[in-house]
Structure 1
Amino acid sequence: MRVLSTSQFTLFALGFLPAQIFATDTLSTNGISTCLTGADIQVQKLDVTYTRSTRELIFDILGSNDIEQNVTASLTVYAYGNDLYSKQFDPCGTENYLAQLCPVPAGTFQAKGSQQIPESFASQIPAIAFAIPDLDGQVKLELKSKQDAHESACIETQLSNGKTTQMSSVTYAAAGVAGAALAVSGLSVVGAAGHPGAASSSPSFGDVMGWFHSMATNGMLSVSYPAVYRSFTKNFAFSTGLIPWGQMQQSIDNFRKSTGGNLTENSYDFLRNATLEFSNGSSTDTSAKVKRGLHLIVGAADLAARDVSTSYSSNSTASNTTSDSTIHKVVSGIEAWAEQLTIPQANIFMTCLLIFAIVIAAITVGILLLKVILELWALYGSFPAKLTNFRKDYWGLLARTITSLILVLYGIWVLYCVYQLTGADSWAAKVLAAITLVIFTGVLMFFGLRIWLVARKYKASQGDASGLYEDNDTWKKYSLFYDNYKKDYWWLFIPAIVYMFVKGVIIAAGNGHGLVQSACQLIVEALMLALLLWYRPYVAKSSQWINLSIQVVRVLSVACVLIFVEELGLSQTTKTVTGIVLIVVQSVLTGVLAILIAANAIILCIRENPHAKRRREAKKMNRDIDDLTPLDARDSLLMENPPRKEYTEMSKFNFTGPYEPYRDQYDQKQRLGSTGSTDRLVDPPDYHDSQHGRSLSRESRHTRDSRGSPDGRKPTAPGYGFAC
């Protein structure tokens, strides 16, 4: 503003505030908003850029005034919620003379120009102001009439150094990590094909996407976020299905319009020309607006060699002013998070639905293409036996892939569907939200019930549910739900699904109530952490520590989000520091996951497949057993024992006859004891294997029992029971 060009205090404020100009050493304004209704002086355009290297300030002001008047100005600079400086001055005074405001002319006026800032003023701007991303600050300018001291204008603007934590490079890197996790998980599954009970590598694709979902949803709550953290969470919007695509948004707008939707302030075209204002007083332009602002800045740079120039425009200029006027919209919660991506809040569900449909179509086409290739391979070449199952199980593989995708996205899907159902918009979009929510929930309920019935069947026949891991067909169908859990904790996928459902409902249904959202979500996250700590359900130690670490960071993240709640009244500085801490912690965990994924990929490439190694060792063992003789038993007695439950079952067997598989051993002892002593000279001891819980040989038991009758009685050696 005119004041900005002459005041050292304004320059100091420029060093503390945010925007989106992509220069390396510039500070610039970012949109304007009025803080006075019915003002005499209206400012429609205010572009100010300060360049550190040249100490030059360029400004472009466009406004209108009802009557010519002399004014006094009051400038207030805020940074991170603190009042840094406040000063009153006279534009007609000798110290801060501004021709454009002395007096303020009637009608429409425009002022463009540049000024060289003295070194004494420029040196007071801290260097860190040009480096910290998403600096949170504002400048407020008030104009009062000298005649009657009434307020004629009130203008607020955001300032920034152009640095932001929302970067396309971060989004691409996160997408690359998710893609790498998917590839490594796929290789792990292929390597374990035909081996029931083999756990997938960790972190898996589901682990990574679940973590990205947590970071994204942390930015959707109705709290007063610092700008630095709000920008950071937008980097992971892709994981929730929100991908900005102008043509798609316009198609969704047309669909909503034809089915009862209101596009007045809820459309893609509206957002392209809007400035979003948040609860903490900060604001941001949408992407199209930012691009237009960049062109204005570049155009203003051409004025660097000029002195201050003032021009007064006619009615034609006034019409241009109307077209360039800024639309302001106050947003919060899920709406604020989505509309920063130029996605109207009423389009959120439909955007996710279309992205999901595109992904499913791509997966279907990819698997079908691979099947066609395998069929041609089988016809015209030697087909590998390992790929036979895939060739025959096309539909099963496709169904399992879609089910896996539903499981990964279920929490986000619940959130978007409930949010769509609670808002007043297109009836068709609501119907689609209800149908898809029922279908997805029904699919997961079907598999949960089916797995529970199968586990119950195994428990009835085998004593436990280990058949879920040992039966090849069962493992192939249902293992995606419990493959990383221990056999005793296969059921933990059910609490995990309930956790995703409840979390999505809390965020969507509690939209607009930040304290309720944060507190309820903290309780849910803490309960999930307690469940994992109590059972430690994961098979691999790596999975145990990775998932526990993710859950601990989730709990801490939600606890930190509580600091952003407006009801607590904490300072903006505290909120900003908390936001930076959150960014650091979440970024470190994301980096650790990326490193672990890379390590898993290297291990898969250089390490021998453990399942193939087991097969080879089993074949070698079988060959060795075939060669055993009584005189050359080698280490056969030291071979691995069968599972413990088999010992218990085998100890119940009585081998005295082929048609008497079970006999109560206690009754047998009672029967022998009732006859007094046996006819043996010395009752031979039971030579039981202490580990197996059964007699060492069938022959010895048969011999001993046969001596219990007169017909089978033979002299024996004392104490040994050997027949003479």
Structure 2
Amino acid sequence: MFSSLARPRLFLIFSLSLFPALVLSREKALFASSVTYCQPPETLLIDRFDIAFFPSNHSVSFNISAASVQENVNVTANLLLNVYGMTPVNVTIDLCSILSGALCPLPTYNFTGADTITLPDSLEVSNKVPGIAFVIPDLEGFAQLTLKETGTGNIKACVQATLSNGWSTHQPAVEWVTSSFALAAFLSAIFHSVFPDSLAPLRFLDLFYLYQAIATSAFLDLNYASLYRSFTLNFAWAIGLVAPTSDSSLQASIDRMRHLTGGQLADSTSSSAVGFVNRRLSPYNSHLAKPVILVQRDVNPLGEILTTLSNTNLRATPIEVPPSSNFLTHLAIQPAVQGQVQTVTNDSSNVLEAGIPIYSNSLHIGTANAFMTSFIVCLIVLAIGLALLACGYFILFTIRRARMRKGKMTSFDYRSFVQAWLLRLGLILLLPLLIFAFYQWTLKDSWLTIILTVITFLFLLVLLFYPPYLITKFVRRSQDSHELYNHTPPTYLTSLGPLYAHLRPERYYFFLLYLAVPLLKAIFISFASASGFAQVILLVVTEFVVLVLQIVLKPHRTKGGNILNTYLGVTRLVCTGLLIAFVEHIAVKAIPRTVIGAVVAVVWSVAVIVLILDLVVFHMLVPIWQTINAQHTAHVRSFHVGKGGTKVG
């Protein structure tokens, strides 16, 4: 009879395939982050598979629940490790040749167990793993176990587990910091927007445009480096994709709405999206893998490991060993298996393709839910904006009543102020709503969602055409663009000022780019999604034209404004151009792609820092310093006048 000590060994064979690349997170560790079947399971069924390797003490912690269910099956086991498209381990083992044939035929049993074991020093596992693998963010690697029936070669089980070291460029702290600066910029813009010459409201828009450019740069049909894709997730909130919390019911409500109105696409899920990524893409890079078949001598170390495992306190069902404290206290991770283990193959309908599908599902938002999520968030933002404007109206009304009692009047036109801020909100929401509305049309899912996208698009058309119509109509009538600035009533300048007030009178028409570029980007991203190369080229041409026009026309009223916008234009052009390295058919290897992704992320980050510093220094600190200095100067003058009067007296 197959002993309780020997029964778990089969399942631990799969875990051993992880060891050569197991690396460290914050205290140096490598663990399985997702588990999927790469073929419909026949022999091996997995309910739980959490495993981690700690190089500091050469130990492995695991918590596994699995079952072998088919009788009289003799199999060979292929262990494969893929790291950045390379296969340092690819070995096939005849299970009948080890453990005195205890695994031949494959026994049927259920196993649930957890423990921590120390690997033999003779294996030198840590020496085979480069140290950088423990610290590089968003490690690209996976381990695969394939069981093939002896004689026929039929696949009886195929399991893949992605690997992680706990480090990622997607950090909640970054989201909080960037959103906090956006909020501070918004408050500064609100305060300074009562002054026609202030550029604070414009810099607030520039900051949001930059955030949105970073997020949408991951929407193309490209094989992004995992590091770069994770980096762009830090700015998903700027386009209305807010990851649901554990107790949120928003995504479930959207799923129900879609299914009640004809939607057939997959729902949102709380499990990791990595397991569903197309195997050609990062972090799998399967099309880059070049197998290296190891010779039979690798069976001896395996036998040494199995001997070590046989001396551990592992038990089969129904006795369950509690998880070791090392695994729970030293590695804070989500379970690799959440719910039922899914089968993901090249022909599966649940495969996530590059672009919006991978991006949105990485935030636990279903592909078909992207528009509705962004739409609802935008409605919430609009509602908050209207509530703030309503509060401002009551405050202003109270101030006016108080001044009228004292015989004073105020000429501030709050209506134009409201119109200007509604226009700014529209400019912020324009790009994400256009992208998701157009993309939803390509999905053809849920007639109610389609109706909402059409209504949204019609409202956006008003924003795209009506304000430009009013401006160009006035210029044609006056036959001089200077009239738009010099002789236009202040109310008109305030209400439409967000479009052209920062531009030179001779270049007032430059605002048309602010409306045309989001429309073009939305069209390229949504309707050219079949070709990532075409998307990149179209976007590069767009950014190049915008940059050339910026340099040639110098449209901004200040030299600093032209320099800053030229810098941002160069940043967008360079970062968009470097995305060519992610085009699939160019087939740049995984490591160079990761390096390029890191470079692009750094360039974007520098631009964010520059823009934030510009906002903080020139539109927050400098005005405060000028106010304090003016008050101090007035106080000094008043003191000297009083002192002089005393002398004369």
What are the residue-to-residue correspondences of 1:225-244 with 2, within 5 Å?
225-244=224-243
What secondary structure does 2:168 align onto? coil
Alpha-carbon displacement from aligned partner over 1:111-157 (angstroms, at most 9, x marks no partner) = 54432023452431333222111010111222334465554332221
Which residue does the alignment assign to 1:368? 390
Counterpart CA distance in 2 for 1:373 and 1:214 is 36
Which residue does the alignment assign to 2:471? 451
Counterpart CA distance in 1 for 2:526 and 2:94 is 51
What secondary structure does 1:211 align onto? helix
Summarize the Cα distance change of 1:547–1:43 in structure 2 as closer, same or farther, 3 Å threshold: same
Summarize the Cα distance change of 1:384–1:234 in structure 2 as closer, same or farther, 3 Å threshold: farther
Select 1:591's aligned residue among 578, 593, 609. 609
What are the residue-to-residue correspondences of 1:611-690 with 2, within 5 Å?
none
Does 2:32 correspond to 1:11? no
Does 2:277 correspond to 1:267? no
Alpha-carbon displacement from aligned partner over 1:4-28 (angstroms, at most 9, x marks no partner) = 6657xx4231239xxxxx7532210
Contact 2:20 2:89 in 1 (8 A): no
Counterpart CA distance in 1 for 2:254 and 2:407 is 47
What secondary structure does 1:558 align onto? helix
Which residue does the alignment assign to 1:211? 210
Which residue does the alignment assign to 2:454? 434
Does 2:336 correspond to 1:326? no
Which residue does the alignment assign to 1:419? 439
Which residue does the alignment assign to 1:75? 79
Summarize the Cα distance change of 1:6–1:476 in structure 2 as closer, same or farther, 3 Å threshold: closer
Contact 2:269 2:364 in 1 (8 A): no
Which residue does the alignment assign to 1:31? 34
Give the letter aligned to residue 458 of structure 2.
Answer: V
Q: CA deviation at 1:465?
A: 2.8
Runs of 4+ in 1 over 6 A off after TM superposition: 270-274, 381-387, 609-612
Give the letter aligned to residue 13 of structure 1.
Answer: A
Select 1:176's aligned residue among 153, 171, 180. 180
Q: CA deviation at 1:430?
A: 1.0
Give the letter aligned to residue 494 of structure 1.
Answer: L
Counterpart CA distance in 2 for 1:118 and 1:469 is 83
What secondary structure does 1:225 align onto? coil
What are the residue-to-residue correspondences of 1:34-183 with 2, within 5 Å?
34-37=37-40, 39-59=42-62, 60-91=64-95, 101=103, 104-110=106-112, 112-119=114-121, 121-124=124-127, 125-146=129-150, 150-183=154-187
Structure 1 stretch 533-542 or stretch 371-380: which is displaced more?
A: 371-380
Contact 1:273 1:327 in 2 (8 A): no
Which residue does the alignment assign to 1:564? 582
Alpha-carbon displacement from aligned partner over 1:301-323 (angstroms, at most 9, x marks no partner) = xxx99925241569xxxxxx996
What secondary structure does 1:267 align onto? coil
Give the letter aligned to residue 341 of structure 2.
Answer: S
Counterpart CA distance in 1 for 2:550 and 2:384 is 35
Summarize the Cα distance change of 1:306–1:449 in structure 2 as closer, same or farther, 3 Å threshold: farther
Give the letter aligned to residue 517 of structure 2.
Answer: Y
Alpha-carbon displacement from aligned partner over 1:667-700 (angstroms, at most 9, x marks no partner) = xxxxxxxxxxxxxxxxxxxxxxxxxxxxxxxxxx
Alpha-carbon displacement from aligned partner over 1:483-522 (angstroms, at most 9, x marks no partner) = 2211110001113311111111110112232122112111
Does 2:376 correspond to 1:354? yes
Which residue does the alignment assign to 1:641? none
Alpha-carbon displacement from aligned partner over 1:569-618 (angstroms, at most 9, x marks no partner) = 22112211111111111111111111111112110101259999xxxxxx
Structure 1 stretch 33-42 or stretch 76-85: which is displaced more?
A: 33-42
Does 2:558 correspond to 1:550? no
What secondary structure does 1:330 align onto? coil
Q: TM-score, with normalisation over the residues of structure 1? A: 0.72
Summarize the Cα distance change of 1:388–1:354 in structure 2 as closer, same or farther, 3 Å threshold: farther
Alpha-carbon displacement from aligned partner over 1:169-217 (angstroms, at most 9, x marks no partner) = 0111111221222223233323x2xx5xx25148611101111111011
Q: Which has the higher contact order (CA 8 A, sep 6+)?
A: 2
Counterpart CA distance in 2 for 1:446 and 1:148 is 70
Summarize the Cα distance change of 1:226–1:102 in structure 2 as closer, same or farther, 3 Å threshold: farther
Select 2:426's aligned residue among 382, 387, 406. 406
Counterpart CA distance in 2 for 1:479 and 1:362 is 22
Counterpart CA distance in 2 for 1:311 and 1:98 is 20
Give the letter aligned to residue 244 of structure 1.
Answer: A
Summarize the Cα distance change of 1:434–1:574 in structure 2 as closer, same or farther, 3 Å threshold: same
Counterpart CA distance in 2 for 1:580 and 1:41 is 39
Counterpart CA distance in 1 for 2:100 and 2:201 is 65
Which residue does the alignment assign to 1:465? 482
Counterpart CA distance in 2 for 1:387 and 1:55 is 79
Does 2:621 correspond to 1:602? yes
Q: CA deviation at 1:437?
A: 0.9
Summarize the Cα distance change of 1:189–1:6 in structure 2 as closer, same or farther, 3 Å threshold: closer
Counterpart CA distance in 1 for 2:419 and 2:200 is 22
Summarize the Cα distance change of 1:65–1:540 in structure 2 as closer, same or farther, 3 Å threshold: same
Summarize the Cα distance change of 1:28–1:113 in structure 2 as closer, same or farther, 3 Å threshold: same
Contact 1:32 1:157 in 2 (8 A): yes
Contact 1:420 1:433 in 2 (8 A): yes
What secondary structure does 1:433 align onto? helix
Counterpart CA distance in 2 for 1:386 and 1:173 is 43
Structure 1 residues not aligned, in runs of 5+: 17-21, 285-303, 315-320, 613-724
How many positions carry a matched residue from both structures?
Answer: 567
What secondary structure does 2:530 align onto? coil
Counterpart CA distance in 1 for 2:279 and 2:150 is 33
Q: CA deviation at 1:87?
A: 2.5
Contact 1:65 1:104 in 2 (8 A): no
Q: CA deviation at 1:249?
A: 1.8
Counterpart CA distance in 1 for 2:534 and 2:407 is 57
Contact 2:22 2:52 in 1 (8 A): no
Structure 2 residues not aligned, in runs of 5+: 1-10, 285-308, 320-336, 345-349, 632-649
Q: CA deviation at 1:44?
A: 4.6
Counterpart CA distance in 2 for 1:283 and 1:510 is 24
Counterpart CA distance in 2 for 1:416 and 1:70 is 51
Contact 1:203 1:546 in 2 (8 A): no
Which residue does the alignment assign to 1:258? 260
Identity over the aligned pairs, expressed in percent?
Answer: 24
Structure 1 stretch 545-554 or stretch 112-121: which is displaced more?
A: 112-121
Contact 2:400 2:409 in 1 (8 A): no
Counterpart CA distance in 1 for 2:101 and 2:408 is 83
Which residue does the alignment assign to 2:312? 307
Summarize the Cα distance change of 1:117–1:5 in structure 2 as closer, same or farther, 3 Å threshold: farther
Task: Please identify the structure whose Cα radius of gyration is greater.
Answer: 1
Structure 1 stretch 586-595 or stretch 466-475: which is displaced more?
A: 466-475
Counterpart CA distance in 1 for 2:417 and 2:363 is 35
What secondary structure does 2:12 align onto? coil
Q: CA deviation at 1:528?
A: 1.2
Alpha-carbon displacement from aligned partner over 1:276-307 (angstroms, at most 9, x marks no partner) = 323535569xxxxxxxxxxxxxxxxxxx9992
Q: CA deviation at 1:50?
A: 1.2
Contact 1:468 1:474 in 2 (8 A): no
Q: CA deviation at 1:56?
A: 1.4
Counterpart CA distance in 1 for 2:630 and 2:487 is 14
Counterpart CA distance in 1 for 2:181 and 2:543 is 24
What secondary structure does 2:76 align onto? strand
Which residue does the alignment assign to 2:190? 186
What secondary structure does 1:2 align onto? helix
Contact 1:257 1:426 in 2 (8 A): yes
